[in-house]
Amino acid sequence: MIPVLLFASYADAFGARRLDAPVGAPCRVDTLVDALRALPGGTRLPAQPLVAVNRTWAAPDAIISVGDEVALIPPVAGG
Amino acid sequence: MIPVLLFASYADAFGARRLDAPVGAPCRVDTLVDALRALPGGTRLPAQPLVAVNRTWAAPDAIISVGDEVALIPPVAGG
Amino acid sequence: MHSPDVRHVAVVTDPIDVVALLAAVAAPSSGATSLFLGTVREVNDGRAVTGIDYEAYQPMAESELRAIARETCADTAGLLVAVEHRVGTLLVGDVSVAIAVSHAHRAPALDGARRIIESLKQRVPIWKQEHYVDGDRAWVDPTTSGTARTA
Amino acid sequence: MHSPDVRHVAVVTDPIDVVALLAAVAAPSSGATSLFLGTVREVNDGRAVTGIDYEAYQPMAESELRAIARETCADTAGLLVAVEHRVGTLLVGDVSVAIAVSHAHRAPALDGARRIIESLKQRVPIWKQEHYVDGDRAWVDPTTSGTARTA
């Protein structure tokens, strides 16, 4: 299980601000996203949601390690 | 005689903030400038100094009438 | 990465002190200062707005803001930058973001402020949920040029 | 020529109140505000400056500033503008000019402030005499990219 932080519309979609993705580390970012998509509310994710690992933007093929801080990032709308 | 307002480096050049140009109204702006150039300090004017008539930029061939507010404008440097 | 030209970066909940931000980029070497303010406006996409909830992934938002400020300063020697973004519930007229940039000359100061607000909107993890007069709320989604209605 | 979008234009001798200028362009319809400040800096053209005397042809300077503000607002619907230029003796760090522009969106607000400072430097009858550390003084002449020494 990999803990994932959720924000804004994604927190609304999953009904939580944090959840455990049913996948083990190490794994690729896109593997984590697929695991999240299978959870209740996961169908509301876009095709390629943004992910941050350790507070840095992560590509779909980046590797998540045990202990990493992982966040699923909705389309940003600051300013 | 046409009264002329002077500012900044032109006031320094003529040693006055206001003087009477030795020319009668009505006259052209460039005629006024030539008259000013003949006065002590007038050689320090550039080839085509800017002139304002009634607080509006005036072309060399504009006509100055009796009672107009005439100003000789050094290169502007606001901001 | 040490960067003394980035004078201040923060994501805050209190109202932004614009005068303090300007003071943060004041310097005897500065001849021009550009301040950009984002404010909550009463209408968006034709709907009457009463307020906005701003939410941030706080630590990443601050680090992204700081990275933007550093990159901007690195590309233009002599820039001084201070940035704050506010989160929480803001009302119409409230300042949501303030970007202060100073430089010896005006063009770099003006360009710097513009670059920072454009980058901020691209890559800083902050979100806003608009509150409408009819009680509806929606997260703003710039990727669809609109909003995703909730509940 | 009536122009309610030009909220405030003045050539003043007292210090410029930047907060008041921002308040003058605040509106529920505004989503972005751009403020430009010109400040006296300690060095110009490589010479150490202690202060600047600003002089204006006051009534024409105000009418030219107002014309610039009106033309800018006329070309971009929805802009709100407030401008002050200070004259008299200013010291290093003092604000000589402040231009506040607001709009629903950021690009017009940023473009508006830039246009006004550029136009101001072209056509508003204001002059500055720099005071140097060595006691010398000179009127700044942008047409020669330098200064005309006096005395």
What pLDDT digit, counting tens, does each position of C66-107 carry? 999 999 999 999 999 999 999 999 999 999 999 999 999 999
For residue C141, list its beta bridge partners. Answer: C146
| DSSP H helices in D14-128 | 18-24, 58-75, 106-123
Burial profile B13-42: b = 16 or more Cβ within 10 angstroms, e = fewer:
bbeeeebebebebebbbebbbebbeebebb
Residue written as token pair 């003092």:
D94
CB neighbours (10 Å) of residue D143?
A: 11
Contact between residue C141 and residue C129 where contact means Cβ atoms under 8 Å apart: no
Kindly state the DSSP code that residue C121 receives in the 8-state scheme. H
Q: Residue C3: its pLDDT value, please?
A: 76
Assign residue D135 a region: left if phi > 0, alpha if psi is -120 to 50, beta otherwise? left
For chains A and C, count residue pairs whose Cβ atoms are closer than 8 Å.
Answer: 77
Q: Which of D22, D33, D41 sits opposite C30 (nearest CB)?
A: D41
| DSSP H helices in B1-79 | 8-14, 29-37
Q: How far apart are CA D95 and CA D139, in angstroms?
A: 19
Tell me whether the omega of the peptide bond preceding residue B26 falls within 30 degrees of 0, making it cis.
yes
Residue written as token pair 């004041």:
C26
Give DSSP secondary structure letters for A29-40: HHHHHHHHHTST
- One-letter identity of residue C86: R
Residue written as token pair 């550009």:
C34
Q: What is the ipTM of this complex?
A: 0.94
Contact between residue C79 and residue C5 where contact means Cβ atoms under 8 Å apart: yes
- A74 and chain C in contact, CB less than 8 A: yes
Q: How far apart are CA A74 and CA C130, in angstroms?
A: 15
State the distance between the two ends of chain A, measured CA to CA, in whole angstroms: 35
| Contacts of residue B24, Cβ cutoff 8 Å, sequence gap at least 6 | B1, B2
Q: How far apart are CA D54 and CA D128, in angstroms?
A: 4
User: Phi, psi (5° rounding) for residue D112?
Assistant: -65, -45
Q: How far apart are CA D61 and CA C22, in angstroms?
A: 27
Contact between residue D129 and residue D150 where contact means Cβ atoms under 8 Å apart: yes
What pLDDT digit, counting tens, does each position of D58-102 carry? 999 999 999 999 999 999 999 999 999 999 999 999 999 999 999
B51 contact residues in D (CB cutoff 8 A): none
Mean pLDDT score of chain A: 97
| Contacts of residue C12, Cβ cutoff 8 Å, sequence gap at least 6 | C84, C85, C86, C87
Q: Residue D2: its pLDDT value, please?
A: 57
Q: How far apart are CA A8 and CA C68, in angstroms?
A: 23
User: For residue D4, with 0-12 CB atoms within 10 Å meaning exposed, 13-18 middle and 19 or more buried, which class applies?
Assistant: exposed
C126 contact residues in A (CB cutoff 8 A): 76-79
User: Phi, psi (5° rounding) for residue B29?
Assistant: -60, -45
Write out the two tokens for A47: 């095709």
H-run or E-run covering A21: strand A18-21
Enumerate residue ranges in chain C where pLDDT < 70: 1-2, 145-151
Q: Residue C151: its pLDDT value, please?
A: 45
To test the contact with chain C by mutation, choose from A4, A9, A50, A68 the residue with the greatest count of C C-beta atoms within 10 A, namely: A9
| Contacts of residue D143, Cβ cutoff 8 Å, sequence gap at least 6 | B46, B75
Q: How far apart are CA B36 and CA B76, in angstroms?
A: 20
Q: Residue D151: its pLDDT value, please?
A: 44
CB contact under 8 Å between D41 and C18, yes or no, is no
Residue written as token pair 């010479």:
D47
**What proportions of chain D, in percent to the nearest 5, are helix, strand and coil?**
30, 40, 30
Q: How far apart are CA D42 and CA C104, in angstroms?
A: 10
Position D142 pLDDT exceeds 80 = yes
Enumerate residue ranges in chain B where pLDDT < 70: none
Position D103 pLDDT exceeds 80 = yes
CB neighbours (10 Å) of residue D45?
A: 11
Tell me whether the omega of the peptide bond preceding residue B60 falls within 30 degrees of 0, making it cis.
no
Chains sharing 3 or more CB pairs under 8 A with chain B? D
Chain C residues with CB under 8 Å of a chain D CB are 18-19, 22, 26, 28-43, 92-93, 102, 104, 106, 109-110, 113-114, 117
What pLDDT digit, counting tens, does each position of A2-58 carry? 999 999 999 999 999 999 999 999 999 999 999 999 999 999 999 999 999 999 999
Q: Which of C38, C60, C151 sits opposite A52 (nearest CB)?
A: C60
